[in-house]
Amino acid sequence: MMHADFYIPTHLFFGENALNKGKDMLTAAGRHAMLVTGKQSARKSGALADVTALLKDAAITYTVFDGITENPPLLTCFEAGRLAAKEGAQFVIGIGGGSPLDAAKAIAAFAANPSLSPEDIFDDKKRINPALPIFAVPTTAGTGSEVNNYSVLTLPSGLQKKTFKAPDSWPRAAFVDPRYTATMSNDTTLSTALDAFAHAMESYLSPRSTLFSENAALFAAREIFDVISALPTTYDAEMRARLALAATAGGMAISVTGTGFPHPLGYSLTLLDGIPHGRACAVFAGDYITYNEKSESGRARIANFAAAIGAKPAVLKAFLPGVAGVSLSMTDDEIAQHVELIAGAKNYANSPYVISKEEIFEIYRAHFKTK
C-alpha cells in the first residue's frame, strides 16, 4: 500500500520579495515582535532590514535578540525566552541560518511558558501554554528549519545536541528569499548545501517516507547535486535560487521522516571538533550508502535514489565525503568519547539497515584513527 500522508502547517512564500508577498500574515500576528538572529548575517544579508521596515510600516514594535550562536545553546534560548516574555512579545521571527531559526522555536515555547526550567522544554506535559506564533526568514540554504518543527539545541554540557519538537513549533510562515543567501561564503554555501543533500538522502531512505516526502527528497537531491557537482567557484543568483528551493524541499522531506545516522555521527564532529554541520554529516554519507546497501530494500532504494539524480552510488560515496574535506585524527579514547555522546540517538532505527554501536566505532575508526 502506498504511503502518501503529508502535513505541513507552514505557509511557504518563495522568491524575490517573499516577505512582501506574505506580509499580511506577519502583521496580523501581534503588536510586538521578538526578532531572533545571530551576530551578523541577519544584518549583512539585508533580511533584518526588510523585516524591520515591514514592521515599522505596520506600526508594530519589536525587540532584537542577536545573541544566537551556531548550534544554539538551550540556555541562550531560555534567556531569550524570558526576555521575550518581559518585553511582551506576541510573536517570534527567526532570521538567519538554522541556528537562529531553531532557536526561535524554543524561544517561542519558553516565552509562552515562563515557569519552565531549561530542560523542561523537552517535556510535553510541562509546556502547558501554546508557543507564540513563529515565523522564519532563512539566510542559508541548508537546514530546511523554516518548514519543519525541529529545533536542534545544544545541551548545557556543550557536548550533546537534543532535538526539541512540538506540535506548535512549526513556523506559521516561511519567507524564503534566495537573495538573502548571496552573502554566504563559498564554504558556508557548500556546507549548508551538503546538509540539505543529507536531508534528502536520509529522508528518501527512511522507512517513514511517503510519496510526497520522497518526491521532495529526490527534487532536492537532484538540484543540489547538479549545482555542487560542478564545484563552482562562484554561485550566481540562479544557483542560489535552486539551492534555496532545494533546501526547503529537503526540510519538508525530513519533517515527515526525520534523519538517519549521518546526523548524530556528525553532531559529535560539530561539537567536539568544530566541523560545520553540513560537512560533518557529509563525512558519513558514503558509510550511509555502504551500510544500507547491505540490506535488500536499502540497496534498491539507493539504486533508485542514485538513478534519479544521475550519479552512480560509487560516485556519491566518493564525492560527498571528499567534498566535505574533513581531516581529523583521533585516539581510541577520543573515538569512544565521540561515540558515547551520540549512542542514545533515535536516528539509527530510521533507515533500512540499522547500525550497531560497534559499527559506529568502526566508521569513526576508518575515518579518523591515525593516532
Q: List interacting residues with ligand NAP (CB under 6 A).
A: 38-41, 44-45, 70-71, 96-99, 102, 139-140, 142-145, 148, 150, 152, 180-181, 183-184, 188, 192, 195, 251, 254, 277-278
Residue 181 binds which entry of ligand NAP, Fe ion, none, CB below 5-8 Å type-dependent? ligand NAP
Q: Cβ 160 to Fe ion, closest distance in Å?
A: 16
Is the Cβ of residue 50 or residue 102 nearer to Fe ion in the bound state?
A: 102
Helices of type H across the chain? 18-21, 23-27, 41-44, 47-57, 74-86, 98-112, 186-205, 211-228, 237-257, 262-273, 277-282, 285-292, 296-309, 313-324, 332-342, 357-368
DSSP 247-283: HHHHHHHHHHH---THHHHHHHHHHHH---HHHHHHT
Distance, CA of 8 to CA of 354 (rounded, Å):
28
Site string for Fe ion, 243-262 (x = CB under 5 A): --------------------
Closest CA to 121 of 87, 66, 169, 174: 169
| C-alpha distances in Å from residue 71, one per residue of 55, 99, 101, 171 | 28, 6, 11, 19
Closer to ligand NAP by Cβ: residue 277 or 301: 277
Instruction: Provide the minimum distance between the beta carbon of 41 and ligand NAP in the complex, in angstroms, as a whole number.
Output: 3
Residues between 170 and 199 with contacts to Fe ion, criterion CB under 5 A: 195
287 counts as binding Fe ion under rule CB under 5 A:
no
| Closest distance to ligand NAP from the beta carbon of 171 (Å) | 10
**Residue 172 and residue 27: Cα distance in Å, rounded?**
12
CB of 297 to ligand NAP, least distance (A): 25
- If the CB atoms of residues 81 and 98 are measured against ligand NAP, the closer one turns out to be 98
* 10 vs 145 by CB, closer to ligand NAP: 145
CA angle 47–51–52, rounded 5-degree value: 120
Q: Which does 261 bind (CB under 5 to 8 A by kind): Fe ion, ligand NAP, none?
A: none
State the residue for C-alpha cell 540490506. 295
* Residues 89 and 109: beta-carbon distance below 8 Å: no
Minimum gap (Å) between residue 255 Cβ and Fe ion = 12
Does residue number 146 form part of the binding site for Fe ion (CB under 5 A)?
Answer: no
Q: What is the dihedral of CA 43, 46, 48, 51, to 10 degrees?
A: 170
Residue 265 C-beta: closest distance to Fe ion, Å: 12
The verdict on 293 binding Fe ion (CB under 5 A) reads no
Q: Which one, of 75, 137, 135, lies nearest residue 110 by Cα? A: 75
The CB-of-86 to ligand NAP minimum distance in angstroms stands at: 24
Interface contacts to Fe ion, rule CB under 5 A: 195
